[in-house]
Amino acid sequence: MSEIKFNKNEKEIIVKKIQMYFQEELDQKIGQFDAEFFLDFIGEEIGAYFYNRGLFDAQAVLEKRMESLTEAIYELEKPTEFSR
């Protein structure tokens, strides 16, 4: 897995959300540097779990769609003397 990189705008939004969470839920004010450091920590230590869950969910959706496609293909089959 390659390292996940956020663009500048995404990182700013995430950092602000982290700062807001700390302020509202933990009644602690953290600066931008600390919030960025926390984001990096989460990404490095926990990010793979979220990434893998996303892949698992995407695979489940794809498998369901493939089942649907397989059924649609069978519905297109024309009867032959061998299919009874």
pLDDT attached to residue 5: 82
pLDDT at 37: 95
Give residue 82's pLDDT: 75
On the 0-12 / 13-18 / 19+ scale of CB atoms within 10 A, 26 is exposed
pTM to 2 decimals?
Answer: 0.69
Q: Which stretches in the chain have pLDDT values below 50? A: none
Distance (Å, rounded) from C-alpha 21 to C-alpha 35?
Answer: 10
